């Protein structure tokens, strides 16, 4: 599978395309935005003839409705017989299952393979994939998944990968609330936030969210907070994922009160204008936009 079409070249799709090209894949990079396409130099232009030769079609789109429209417009009419369809977007289980059935009606295998890891892991090829779909399709996908990820796990039939992702991101959303509240309280108690970050990242409060999405500018290298909260993982997407988890919880009759609170908070933050910012920007609903940690430390000295 050396010919791959990648539809959706945003925060995640672009570094995924770059990683695949660096590993020798021929990548047809597709996006409704011309600017997004232009930002992936070296990719093949999105011509229909090139797309029809792709061995695998990866989608990395925001929501179910985007995947639905890409499948209706491009993927199902244009993919070659035998092409493997891998949807890496985080979307609802119902849309995933419906698209998998449409793909099967066209004789194509589709996997849901949402990811954890963010753009840094996408570029390094160290994502974690949560996969649903037929075992034979999963077996066929493993070499490609191994070039994009450090971990990949087959959870069951179509939709099982999205179910795992909903649970995973509910943990991330709740953790994010804990991190921003902890730092807001630390700031209001007059602590040095750089020192507090160092302590937490080497103690029991440590988490991926704390270390990679700490809301305080300057405390750790490369965090969105140091770049005006440019995502990263947009708050609107976090809100969407938390609502997906709530829908799953309602369907299963499982109480998830912390998840419900996080879904409500992130949805409100996104609706109030924060949706395009990294999710760590929700800190600003608790404390005013923080100064760089070192500036704070100096002003306290
Ligand atoms: P993004 O908004 O940055 O990128 C989405 C891209 O899709 C955009 O370039 C947009 O122009 C394009 N697009 C939209 N509709 C299209 C269509 N019909 N055809 C072709 N292109 C289309 O989003 P992202 O952050 O890259 O996230 C993509 C998915 O990955 C989401 O489901 C998100 O929840 C999930 N995800 C994101 C992260 C992260 O850290 N950003 C991490 C894990 C999972």
- Which atom of ligand 1 lies closest to the CA of 69? 18
Final residue belonging to a domain, choices 135, 157, 179: 157
Q: What is the pLDDT of residue 296?
A: 58
Do 119 and 250 belong to one domain? no
CA of 301 to the centre of ligand 1 (A): 43
Q: Which residues line ligand 1 (CB under 6 A)?
A: 7-13, 30-33, 36, 60-62, 66, 69-70, 89-90, 115-116, 118-119, 231, 233-234, 237, 241
Rounded distance from Cα 171 to ligand 1 centre (Å): 21
DSSP symbols for the chain: --EEEEE--STTHHHHHHHHHHTT-EEEEE-S-HHHHHTSTTSBP--HHHHTT-SEEEE--SSHHHHHHHIIIIIHHHSPTTPEEEE-S---HHHHHHHHHHHHHTT-EEEE--EESHHHHHHHT-EEEEEES-HHHHHHHHHHHHHHEEEEEEEESTTHHHHHHHHHHHHHHHHHHHHHHHHHHHHHTT--HHHHHHHHTTSTT--HHHHHS-SSTTSSTT-GGGGTT--SSBHHHHHHHHHHHHHHHHHHT---HHHHHHHHHHHHHIIIIITTSBGGGGGGGTSSPPPPHHHHHHHH-
Task: Supply the pLDDT for residue 295.
Answer: 60
Last residue of a domain, one of 130, 157, 184: 157
Task: Identify whether residues 255 and 176 lie together within a single domain.
Answer: yes
pLDDT(293) > 60: no
Taking alpha carbons only, the member of 247, 269, 251, 276 closest to residue 260 is: 247
Residue 270: closest CA among 256, 260, 281, 254: 281
Establish whether 165 is a catalytic residue. yes
Report pLDDT digits (tens) over 171-203: 999 999 999 999 999 999 999 999 999 999 999
Q: What tens digit of pLDDT does each residue of 56-113 get? A: 999 999 999 999 999 999 999 999 999 999 999 999 999 999 999 999 999 999 999 9
Asked which of 157, 190, 212 is the last residue of a domain, the reply is 157
| 51 lies in the same domain as 135 | yes
**What is the best residue among 37, 61, 88 to mutate for testing ligand 1's pocket, by most ligand atoms within 8 Å of CB?**
61
CATH code for position 248: 1.10.1040.10
How far is ligand 1, taken at its centre, from the CA of residue 134, in Å? 25
Across 1-10, 54-63, 147-156, 289-298, least confident range = 289-298
- Shared domain check, 132 and 11: yes
Considering the domain architecture, whether residues 21 and 43 belong to the same structural domain is answered as yes
Q: Do 7 and 110 have their domain in common?
A: yes
Per residue in 25-69, pLDDT (tens digit) is 999 999 999 999 988 887 776 677 888 999 999 999 999 999 999
Whether residues 191 and 227 share a domain: the answer is yes
Q: Is 171 found in the same domain as 150?
A: no
Query: What whole-number distance in Å separates Cα of residue 125 and Cα of residue 147?
Result: 6
**Residue percentage of the chain with pLDDT more than 90:** 89
Q: Closest Cα to atom 21, ligand 1: which residue?
A: 31
Domain of residue 94, CATH code: 3.40.50.720
Q: Are residues 43 and 61 in the same domain?
A: yes
Residues 103 and 238 occupy one common structural domain? no
Taking the complete model, does pTM exceed 0.85, yes or no? yes
Residue 288 banded pLDDT, cuts 50, 70, 90? confident
Would you say residue 297 has pLDDT above 80? no
Q: How many Å lie between the centroid of ligand 1 and the Cα of residue 190?
A: 39
Domain interval for residue 35 = 3-157
Q: Whose CA is nearest to atom 31 of ligand 1?
A: 62
Mean pLDDT of the chain: 94
| 207 lies in the same domain as 149 | no
92 plus 197 within the same structural domain: no
Mutate to test the pocket of ligand 1, among 6, 7, 9, 12 (most ligand atoms within 8 A of CB): 12
Which one of 6, 7, 9, 11 would you pick to mutate in the ligand 1 pocket, going by the greatest count of ligand atoms within 8 A of its CB? Answer: 11
Q: What is the pLDDT of residues 223-275, one digit of tens each?
A: 999 999 999 999 999 999 999 999 999 999 999 999 999 999 999 999 999 99
Into how many domains does the chain fold? 2
Catalytically annotated residue among 23, 102, 151, 165: 165
């Amino acid at each position: 599978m050396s010919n791959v079409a990648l539809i959706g070249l945003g925060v995640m799709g672009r570094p995924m395309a770059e990683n695949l090209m660096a590993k020798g894949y021929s990548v047809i990079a597709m996006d409704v935005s011309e600017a997004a396409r232009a930002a992936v130099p070296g990719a093949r232009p999105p011509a229909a003839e090139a797309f029809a030769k792709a061995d695998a079609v990866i989608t990395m789109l925001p929501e179910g409705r985007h995947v639905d429209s890409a499948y209706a417009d491009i993927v199902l009419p244009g993919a070659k017989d035998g092409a493997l369809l891998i949807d890496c977007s985080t979307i609802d289980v119902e849309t995933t299952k419906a698209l998998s059935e449409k793909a099967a009606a066209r004789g194509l295998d589709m996997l849901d393979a949402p990811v954890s890891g963010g753009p840094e892991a996408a570029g390094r090829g160290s994502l974690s994939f949560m996969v649903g779909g037929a075992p034979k399709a999963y077996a066929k996908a493993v070499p490609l998944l191994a070039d994009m990820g450090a971990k990949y796990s087959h959870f069951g039939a179509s939709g099982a990968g999205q179910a795992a992702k909903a649970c995973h991101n509910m943990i991330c959303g709740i953790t994010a609330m804990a991190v921003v509240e902890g730092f807001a309280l630390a700031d209001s108690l007059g602590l040095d936030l750089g020192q507090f970050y160092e302590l937490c990242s080497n103690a029991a409060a440590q988490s991926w969210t704390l270390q990679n999405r700490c809301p305080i500018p300057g405390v750790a290298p490369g965090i969105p907070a140091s770049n005006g909260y440019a995502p990263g993982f947009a708050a609107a997407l976090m809100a969407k994922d938390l609502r997906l988890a709530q829908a799953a919880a309602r369907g299963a009759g499982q109480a998830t009160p912390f998840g419900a609170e996080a879904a409500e908070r992130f949805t409100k933050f996104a609706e109030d204008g924060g949706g395009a910012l990294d999710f760590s920007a929700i800190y600003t609903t608790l404390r005013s936009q923080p100064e760089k940690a070192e500036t704070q430390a100096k002003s306290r000295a």
